[in-house]
Structure formats: structure tokens, C-alpha cells
Amino acid sequence: MDSLAHHLLSIVLFLPAVGSLLLWAARRPRIAKRIAIGFSAVTLIVALLIPLAARFDSGEIHFDSAATMACGHRISYRLEVDGLCWPLVVITALLFLLACAAAGKEADRFGPFFSRLLLLKTCALGTFLAKGPWLFFIFLELATFLLMLLARSGSKQRADRAYGPIIHAIASGILLVVAIAIINRHAAIAPKLRTIAFVLFLLAMLIRMAILPFGAWIGTAYSRASAPILMVLSPVVLLSGAYGLLRIAYPTFADVAAYAWLPLATLGVACLLFNALCALSQPDLHRFLAHQASAISGVILIGIAVMSRTALNGTIFLLLASALGSASLVFIADMVRRRAGHANMDHLGGLAGAMPKLWSLSVISMANQVGLPALAMFVGEILIVVGIFRVSQPQSLPHSFAQVETTAVFTIAVATCVGLILLAVSMARATQSVFLGPPGVLQERMPDATSSEIAVLAPLATLIVALGILPTLLVFHFTGGTLREIRSTYQRAASVRAVQPPPK
């Protein structure tokens, strides 16, 4: 039993890969889907059991895998889970399970679809479990490659010549490998090299998070990829970008990051406002959801940049809530597109009366995106806003803000509130366009959600409500210790550098 717990993280990581190998021998799509769902469910169950085998004291979860293999002088295989990555691992495992259940025609048209999807799951989990920047990079790039392969093979368009996501992925990988190479080749990095490495790493993560002006790729991905791929896009791409900042960039370059808080927060506000305005005028449902996802990434970047205790708690919570909400909304959008034959919101309407089962589940996901109380995204958004307003007080101004007037922090907080209001209005408009109003002739003939579709949406809706009602029990109870460690590292560096000129 001790030996099994010793390698628990390796079991979680490679269990989907074992299922991927078995799927090559399964020729019937229905059998392949059952195998994929079975391995995904077991992976989720084992991931949920990690705290039982980990050291868990005073709100801190920490677990090291003993399986260590050196590869050269700088790369080693070592896995680690703590209060930051464990919730992300669980959410990733859940979303891949639901993506397997949501897959339909993809499995019929492409034999290796489920095999690639499980292999992608292994790489996505490895991104969060990896200890060390090189192993993080390897899993991240493998996951990106497999995601693009699946997205292009299951594209809604027969001849897919959209190279925007590929170009952005290549650019992000090049920037990331150069930054990690600088970190590992220089034990005592000169200030200029530290700044260069931080900027390169930061740009790589901003591209993945679809932050303005690097967010053009996400609209193409949302309009072309199938629903199962879009359901796992958030943990593979968006969550990994924010996780890379929190796990590697800020602890490694805390002194440089302390001076970059205002440009990063301003960039996050610009991304939020721009995408919220675009969402207000976007008629295509899939591109509308792409703007919503990019805007939420802007809010997450603001929370990371401010790095106060309240804002950081809200950031972690918003990461989880946005992943659940995005997966639910893209699946709903795909259901509407398949039934109506298009995704133009101006030509839809009245689906609440024509499809009551779908409406009963959709209203939770859309209310969550609006930010209504007692739902998951409200908790994350309100904590980020409150965290910014708190540090705008002169007596609460952190060391890293020492050379900035409180007016700048207050402006960031107000602009964030305005962006979130615009984002809520855009989602209310989309709800009105798609579900409310008198139904047309075509809408009245649309079939309601099937039992298999309800089985995908119901767990997401349940978790959205549960996280909104019990945020402390389900998330903050596990993340507290790790977040305190990240903040203390950042604050020490900010205190030391507060009286020094910024690195050039």
C-alpha cells in the first residue's frame, strides 16, 4: 500500500496513456468511447484521492512523487502536487471525462480520436504535476501539439487553412524554451538577463492566455474546433498559461515581477474592456464565447499582477470557475449549432420554450457567466475586485507599489468593475438572443437535449452551484498554504527591491 501511494502521481499521470494504447486495438467506436470514459473516470477518482496520501496540515497539501529519473544535467522526471495544482488536476480530469462523453461524430469519423484525447490528457495533467521548468515545458508543448492535431482533424471545415493558432503556439514555444534555457544555464543570472528571461516567459504565457494583443487565435479556434476539443481547451491552454506565471515566473523572478505589476494590470484591464466591447457586438455565438474567455483571462491577469491575498484567492477560484463555465457554454453552443445549422444569434430565439431541458441547464451556466451571487464565477470576480480596492488604500499599499500613487490602483479597480459589468451585459444580450423571445418555425422543431447531453451538462451545472455556495470547503481549504508561500516569496523580493532602482 505504501509503495502504491509512493507512485500515486505517476499512476494519475500515465493511466490515460495506458488507455490510449489500448484504444488503438479497439475498432468499434462505441467500444472505444466506453474505454475512454472508463479510464478517464478512474483517473478522476484517483486524483480525488491524492489528499488522502499527501501530507495535509493546516490548509496545506503537499505531495512529492518519488519516481525521479535524471535526463542529462538539467532535465529530470519528478512530479509534485500542492494546493495550487491539485484543484487544477481534478478539474482537468473532470473536463476530459466529460469531453469523452460529449464526443459523437468525431469518434465515428476518426478512429484514433479517443486515443489522442487520452494522450492529450496525460500531457495536460503533466503540465500541472511537473516539478521543474523543463518538464513543464515538455508536457506543455506535447499537449499543445496534440490539441492542434485533434482540432484540425475534427474541424468543422473540410479544408482547414487557419494557421493563426499554429503560429501563436510556435511563437509561445520558442519564447518559453529560450527563457527556460537562460534560467538553467546561469546559476546567478545578471539583472539584465533576469529581465529578459522574465519578459520572454511572460510573453509566452500571455500568448497562451489569449491576452490582448495576442488573442486573435482563440476566435479561430472557437469557430472551427468541435465541442469536445473546446471543452478541454481551457485546461490545456488558458489554465496552463496562468499556472506557468504563478508556479514558475513569479517565484523565480519575483523581484522583476514586482516592478511589472502596473503594466500587467493595465494590459489585463485593456484585454477585459476590449473583449467585453467586442462581445457586445459579436453575432456569432462561438466567437462571442471566445471573446468572453479572453476577457476572463484579462481579469485573471489583473489578479496575478496585484498579488494581494484576496485577489490571489479570487484568481485561483476564477481559474476553476471559468474552466467549468467555458466547457458548459461551448457544449451548449455546439448543441444549438448542430440543431439550427448555424450559430448566428440574430437568427435564433425562443429556445427556452422549444427546448426546456436545455434551458434549465443553460440558465445556470449563463447566470454564472453574468456573475450572479451563489455561483462560482461571482466568488472569483468579487474577490479580485475587493482585493484591488483594498490595496488602493494608502496604509495597505504593498512594497511593490511604492512608487505608484493610490489613484492608479483605484483606477485599475474601477476599470475592472466596468469591464465586468460590460461582460455581464454582453452575456445577458446573448441569453436574450438565443433563448428568450418568441420562437421561430425552425426553433419550434428543434429536439430538446438528450439524456447523454444532459449527463454532460448536469455535472458542470452542479459544480458551478456547489463552488458558489461552498468555496472555502471545496477550494480555499486546500489552496491556502501554497498561496501564502507564493505571496511571501513575492513580498520578500518586493521589499528588498522597493528602495532600489528597477532592473534595466
Q: Label residue 4 by pLDDT band (50, 70, 90).
A: low
Question: Does 420 have pLDDT greater than 60?
Answer: yes
Q: Taking residues 234-256, report their average pLDDT.
A: 87
Q: What is the pLDDT of residue 438?
A: 72
What are 326-372's pLDDT values in tens digits?
Answer: 999 999 999 888 888 888 888 887 788 888 898 988 999 999 999 89
How far separated are the first and last CA of the chain, in Å rounded? 53
What are 128-174's pLDDT values in tens digits?
Answer: 998 888 889 999 999 999 888 887 765 555 444 556 778 888 888 99
Question: Does 5 have pLDDT greater than 80?
Answer: no
Highest mean pLDDT among 94-108, 156-170, 418-432: 418-432
Between residues 198 and 54, the one the model is more confident about: 198
Q: What is the pLDDT of residue 419?
A: 95
What is the 3 state secondary structure string of 374-405? CCHHHHHHHHHHHHHHHHCCHHHCCHHHCCCC
Residue 465's identity, in one-letter code, is V
419: in domain: yes
Question: Does 31 have pLDDT greater than 70?
Answer: yes
Lowest model confidence (mean pLDDT) among 44-58, 65-79, 211-225: 65-79
Domain that holds residue 463: 260-469
Q: What is the pLDDT of residue 73?
A: 46
Q: What is the pLDDT of residue 304?
A: 92
Q: What is the pLDDT of residue 258?
A: 80
Q: What is the pLDDT of residue 131?
A: 84
Provide the CB-side half-sphere exposure for 211 (13 A, CA). 26
- What percentage of the chain reaches a pLDDT higher than 90? 39
Alpha-carbon gap, residue 499 to 494, rounded angstroms: 9
- What percentage of the chain reaches a pLDDT higher than 70? 82
What are 368-391's pLDDT values in tens digits?
Answer: 999 899 999 999 999 999 999 888
Between residues 482 and 371, the one the model is more confident about: 371
What is the 3 state secondary structure string of 471-490? HHHHHHHHHHHHHHHHHHHH
What are 389-398's pLDDT values in tens digits?
Answer: 888 776 555 5
Domain count, the chain: 1
Sign of torsion, CA 101 102 107 112?
Answer: negative
Alpha-carbon gap, residue 31 to 225, rounded angstroms: 24
Alpha-carbon gap, residue 2 to 453, rounded angstroms: 40
Q: What is the pLDDT of residue 163?
A: 66
Q: What is the mean pLDDT of the chain?
A: 83
Q: What is the pLDDT of residue 153?
A: 65
278: in domain: yes
169: in domain: no
Residue 144's identity, in one-letter code, is T
25: in domain: no
Question: Does 2 have pLDDT greater than 60?
Answer: no
pTM to 2 decimal places: 0.90
244: in domain: no
481: in domain: no
Question: Does 315 have pLDDT greater than 70?
Answer: yes
What are 192-240's pLDDT values in tens digits?
Answer: 888 888 999 999 999 999 998 888 888 888 888 888 899 998 878 888 9
- Contacting residues for 61 by C-beta, under 8 A, at least 6 apart: 50, 51, 54, 55, 81, 82, 83, 86, 478, 481, 482
- Contacting residues for 163 by C-beta, under 8 A, at least 6 apart: none
- How many helices (DSSP H) and strands (DSSP E) are in the chain? 26, 5
Between residues 399 and 446, the one the model is more confident about: 446
459: in domain: yes
6: in domain: no
Q: Label residue 66 by pLDDT band (50, 70, 90).
A: very low
